[in-house]
Amino acid sequence: MTDWTVHKFGGTSLADAGRYARAADLVREAGDGPVAVVVSAPAGITDAFLEAVALAARRDPHYRQALHDIRDRIVALAGKLLGEEASPLIEVVESNALDLEDVLRGVELTGTAPEQTGELVSGFGEVWSAQMLRAHLATTGTPDAEWLDARAVLVVERTASGPLVHWEKTGERLAKWQRENPSQTVVVTGYVASDEAGVATSLQRNGSDYTASIFGRLLDASSITIWTDVEGVMSADPRLVPEAVLLPYLSYDEAAELAYFGARVLHPHTMAPAITADIPVRIRDAGHPDRVGTLLASAPPAELDDERATAVKGFSSSADVALLNIEGLGLMGVPGVAQRLFGALRDVGVSVAMISQAGSEHSICAAIPLGQAERARSAVEHAFHAELHYGKVQTIDVGGPYRILAAVGDRMEQTPGVAARFFGALGSANINVRAIAQGSSERNISAVVDAKDSARALRAVHSGFYLSDRTLSIGLLGPGRIGSELLRQIAAGARTLHERFQIDLRVRGIMRSSSMLLDERGIDLGRWEDLMARDGEPADLDRFVAHVDADHIPHAVVVDCTASEEFNDIYPKWLDEGVHVVTANKHATSSSLDLYRRIREPRRSRRAHYLGSATVGAGLPVVRTLQDLVRTGDRVHRIEGVLSGTLSYLFNGLSIETPFSSMVAEAFRRGYTEPDPREDLTGMDVVRKALILGREMGLELEPSDVSVESLVPEALRNADTAPEAFLDRLADHDGEIQARLNAAAREGGVLRYVARVEESGAAVELRTFPSHHPFANVSGADAIVAFTTERYNPQPLIIQGPGAGPEVTAGGVFADLLRLAGLLGGSTPNV
Ligand code: ADP
Ligand code: ASP
Ligand code: MG
């Protein structure tokens, strides 16, 4: 091992001048030893070159413009990065571009582009990129930086399984180059190479990773660092699976399996030279160099407890494939069938990504690149011509597009239940599996699924292994006083809940009447208001719910903290669709009995829960206590109580000196009432709570069955009067209530506005209670409820305490969310 280190920068990490400068800084911070810096082309350049070649091959004259665009982008980048020092590079680029135009003109004239032409042309992205970074390093404190054109050194042989390095020849050339250029900072072109005849070629897409690994081995480097645009290798492609987590350590084998099936962050060949030379490879985020990233090595470092890692580490999904299926009774027990099949495919250059054969040998199925499907079919038909003719082979068919979904992990082998979890997750996401394979290394399980389902399938299997069964995707309706308090409480408790109880609460959507905020992974609750102002979009309930009810998160819940009636009829629909409902909103369960039944009655088809503890008594366990009584077989005779915190406050403060109207004005001023205090004074809020309690106790009550005494004087019921005007005029009517107060006082009692629900009927009214009665001894905005039942008789069961206000109400909703998580199983989160 030498003290060389290799650093590779991908195209995404070299997309603009700022990123070149950042790369140079990272190289300088890399340490004291000599550094080889392997660079990709700036993001998008390789694609743009290949597109220009394709245009020329189709004789589309726009190839010129395409080429000029590439040139102009590089020239602009050089100007920005290098300033006055840019001219030598710009001259080179312009002169190369003229040559390339000639090459493309040739392609246009012949109307065809051999593969070599594409490789030659597209390699210029890296050739320019290396010169760009070298020039920048040279002008910013590393004057001896050199660039190495890998085409002059790296010799490869093109084979069906990709380019193979001629190590000896390449080693000699590199040694010679180093003697002539004894620099300690060498910028190497990624991706490009030469074949044995000296013709420019490439290491194929994403080949710069391979370059880094090759040079690591050639230089006998002590480490290779791949700088890219993700934190490291994640448990799945983070663009497809937002929940993906960083994998701190991967064995070489795990990395190779993941890469093979399409984790673009690693090129499949990348590993080989590094493995042979046992060089540790780090994948790191160029945008966040403070993060450690992923280590690939032959053994985990001591500080990482890889034993604790999950059995399955990563998931990937391949590019599109076709499945070739050959089926026939005549294949059973006949030796050599597989050999003939794969021989035929090999002869026409079709590579097979996956094979599966049932034990009966009745059929064999192979996954092949989609683009080679027809070629494969005719080759196989040809090879089995006779069997087809004599009916020994019934069908040879090719279908697609499909994708191979793979789960990878070294320790799968020792862990039972992995396959069950994998296929279970696919099953519950309703994804059809076309073929299955598990290598005998048991490091990989693969399933072939329809291409259109592949992203969903990837998310489903990923959450099957990585998300706790108690992960809730939460959509909050109405971030008003209660809603925003709830968000604050969730933010404060989330971490402990996750760590100690594996309850993972993710608020993925917040919606108010005009706008909504959605986030894949979960909204940052510390600054949701800013985010909503910045990234909010127009409110759209259907989209909101579809987002919250994401396939890949085990459970979805809509939390209704609005005071609106607009969602009443939608609750049953959400519940039928499997979306849980947690609510502080009384409207739905207190409107018609029919709607109540559709929400509350258990149905076999229903997979979702409704929880509405906070609809009566806010955080007090009123509804829950009632439900427990009913479920345990007690008979509830009567429920009576002060159910409105607002009205409780009014009557607790009422006295000879403080008339009713001034209490109402005071409550209004303190924000204890609805914006229009008449909504409290009509008693409707209490009627709603009485209905909910009555129905929970088993009574078939319609709203019209509850008699109600309104505290709004007849003369002031005209809704056109503004709240302030109403308050002014209320004083004229103080006499009525004052008279009742006096009457009560004469008997030594007090006035309370109460609900009473029993089998014989329900009423909401102002009543007198003697001073020793529990209802007489409430204070502030307390609620109090007394349950008289078969068991609690004659002494009722009493629940008393603060029954209104954002904190206790939000606390009640939060408790329902946790209760919901508790109802949703809670098996161990990881196999
Ligand atoms: P670079 O330009 O640095 O070579 P690439 O775009 O080639 O970067 O590779 C990085 C990308 O690989 C990431 O942005 C990510 O979308 C994708 N990717 C696919 N699978 C994974 C995975 N398991 N972990 C991390 N990234 C992955
Ligand atoms: N520029 C090449 C590509 O985009 C090689 C690489 O970036 O690794 O495929
Ligand atoms: Mg790449």
Three-state SS annotation for 478-546: CCCHHHHHHHHHHHHHHHHHHHHHCCEEEEEEEECCCEEEECCCCCCCCCHHHHHHHHCEECCHHHHHH
**Residues 317, 353: contact at Cβ < 8 Å?**
no
Q: How far apart are CA 468 and CA 310, in angstroms?
A: 13
Over 50: is that where the pLDDT of 830 sits?
Answer: no
Write the DSSP assignment of 5-49 as a string of letters.
EEEEE-GGGGSSHHHHHHHHHHHHTT-SS-EEEEE-PSTTHHHHH
pTM above 0.75, yes or no: no
| Residue 831: per-residue pLDDT | 28
13 Cβ inside 6 Å of ligand 1: yes
Q: How far apart are CA 675 and CA 441, in angstroms?
A: 68
| Model confidence pLDDT, tens digit, residues 41-61 | 999 999 999 999 999 999 999
Q: How far apart are CA 482 and CA 492, in angstroms?
A: 15
Furthest C-alpha separation in the chain: 115
Select the more confidently predicted residue: 304 or 481.
481
Position 741 confidence tier, pLDDT thresholds 50, 70, 90: very high
- Among all bound ligands, the one having the nearest atom to the CA of 250 is 1
| Model confidence pLDDT, tens digit, residues 320-373 | 999 999 998 877 777 888 889 999 999 998 988 888 887 667 889 999 999 999
Q: How far apart are CA 717 and CA 714, in angstroms?
A: 6
> Bridge partners of 399?
323
Q: How far apart are CA 766 and CA 744, in angstroms?
A: 11
**Residues 27, 7: contact at Cβ < 8 Å?**
yes
Tokens encoding 309: 């890692």
Over 90: is that where the pLDDT of 673 sits?
Answer: no
Buried b (16+ CB within 10 A) or exposed e, 584-609: bbbbbbbbeeebbebbbeeeeeeebb
**Residues 265, 283: contact at Cβ < 8 Å?**
yes
How far does the centroid of ligand 2 lie from the alpha carbon of residue 431, in Å? Answer: 33
**Residues 227, 7: contact at Cβ < 8 Å?**
yes
Position 440 confidence tier, pLDDT thresholds 50, 70, 90: low
**Kindly report the CA angle at 825 between 560 and 614, in degrees rounded to 5?**
25
Over 90: is that where the pLDDT of 136 sits?
Answer: yes
Collect all residues with Cβ–Cβ distance below 8 Å to 760 and sequence separation of at least 6.
Answer: none
Dihedral pair phi/psi, residue 824, rounded to 5°: -95, 50
Neighbours of 746 (CB within 10 A): 8
Q: How far apart are CA 807 and CA 815, in angstroms?
A: 12
Collect all residues with Cβ–Cβ distance below 8 Å to 159 and sequence separation of at least 6.
Answer: none
Position 574 confidence tier, pLDDT thresholds 50, 70, 90: very high
Position 828 confidence tier, pLDDT thresholds 50, 70, 90: very low
**Residues 483, 504: contact at Cβ < 8 Å?**
no
Q: Let me know how long the chain is.
A: 831
How far does the centroid of ligand 2 lie from the alpha carbon of residue 41, in Å? Answer: 6
**Helices and strands, number each (H, E), in the chain:** 29, 32
Query: Out of 305-314, 505-514, 593-602, which region has the weakest mean confidence (pLDDT)?
Result: 305-314
| Residue 308: per-residue pLDDT | 61
How far does the centroid of ligand 2 lie from the alpha carbon of residue 812, in Å? Answer: 54
Query: Out of 222-226, 549-553, 677-681, which region has the weakest mean confidence (pLDDT)?
Result: 549-553
Tokens encoding 423: 């296929």
Q: How far apart are CA 227 and CA 288, in angstroms?
A: 10
Cα of first residue to Cα of last residue in the chain, in angstroms, is: 39
314 Cβ inside 6 Å of ligand 1: yes
Over 70: is that where the pLDDT of 638 sits?
Answer: yes
| Model confidence pLDDT, tens digit, residues 257-292 | 888 777 777 776 777 898 889 999 999 999 999 999
Averaged pLDDT for residues 672-683: 86
At 536, the amino acid letter reads G
Of 285, 294, 269, 383, whose CA–CA distance to 337 is shortest? 383
The mean pLDDT of the chain is 91
Q: CB under 8 Å, gap of 24 or more: what pairs does 162-166 form?
A: 162/203, 162/204, 162/268, 162/269, 163/193, 163/201, 163/202, 163/203, 163/204, 163/207, 163/210, 163/269, 165/214, 165/273, 166/196
CA dihedral 601, 607, 608, 613 (to 10 degrees): 50
Helix crossing, 373-383 with 337-347: angle to 10°?
130
264 Cβ inside 6 Å of ligand 1: yes
At 737, the amino acid letter reads I
Residue nearest to atom 2 of ligand 2 (CA): 206
| Residue 825: per-residue pLDDT | 58
Minimum-distance ligand 1 atom for the alpha carbon of 234: 24
Q: How far apart are CA 78 and CA 86, in angstroms?
A: 6
At 271, the amino acid letter reads M
pLDDT above 90 covers what percent of the chain?
Answer: 71
Averaged pLDDT for residues 139-167: 93
Averaged pLDDT for residues 179-207: 95
Minimum-distance ligand 1 atom for the alpha carbon of 263: 20
Ligand 2 neighbours (beta carbon < 6 A): 10-11, 40-41, 46, 125, 190-191, 205-209
How far does the centroid of ligand 2 lie from the alpha carbon of residue 231, in Å? Answer: 19
Q: Are strands 610-611 and 579-583 parallel, antiparallel or unpaired?
A: parallel
Query: Can you tell me whether residue 661 is helix, strand or coil?
Result: helix
| Residue 305: per-residue pLDDT | 67
Averaged pLDDT for residues 635-663: 93
Q: How far apart are CA 803 and CA 568, in angstroms?
A: 23
Q: How far apart are CA 456 and CA 451, in angstroms?
A: 10
Minimum-distance ligand 2 atom for the alpha carbon of 204: 9
Q: How far apart are CA 200 and CA 513, in angstroms?
A: 61
Reply yes or no on whether 392 is catalytic: no
Over 90: is that where the pLDDT of 304 sits?
Answer: no
Q: How far apart are CA 487 and CA 506, in angstroms?
A: 11
| Model confidence pLDDT, tens digit, residues 204-234 | 988 999 999 999 999 999 999 999 999 999 9
Minimum-distance ligand 1 atom for the alpha carbon of 228: 3
* Alpha-carbon separation of residue 625 from 613, 631, 643 (angstroms): 10, 10, 15
Select the more confidently predicted residue: 139 or 443.
139
Write the DSSP assignment of 354-419 as a string of letters.
EEEE-TT-SEEEEEEEGGGHHHHHHHHHHHTHHHHHTTSS-EEEEEEEEEEEEEE-GGGGG-TTHH
Collect all residues with Cβ–Cβ distance below 8 Å to 321 and sequence separation of at least 6.
Answer: 353, 354, 367, 368, 369, 370, 400, 401, 402, 403, 404, 448
At 67, the amino acid letter reads L
| Model confidence pLDDT, tens digit, residues 690-700 | 999 999 999 99
How far does the centroid of ligand 2 lie from the alpha carbon of residue 346, in Å? Answer: 28
| Residue 722: per-residue pLDDT | 85
Cis peptide before 794 (omega within 30 of 0): yes
Over 60: is that where the pLDDT of 611 sits?
Answer: yes
CB-side neighbour CA atoms (13 Å) of 530: 4
Q: How far apart are CA 26 and CA 489, in angstroms?
A: 41
Neighbours of 417 (CB within 10 A): 10
233 Cβ inside 6 Å of ligand 1: yes
Averaged pLDDT for residues 95-109: 97
Mutate to test the pocket of ligand 1, among 230, 245, 294 (most ligand atoms within 8 A of CB): 230
Over 70: is that where the pLDDT of 121 sits?
Answer: yes
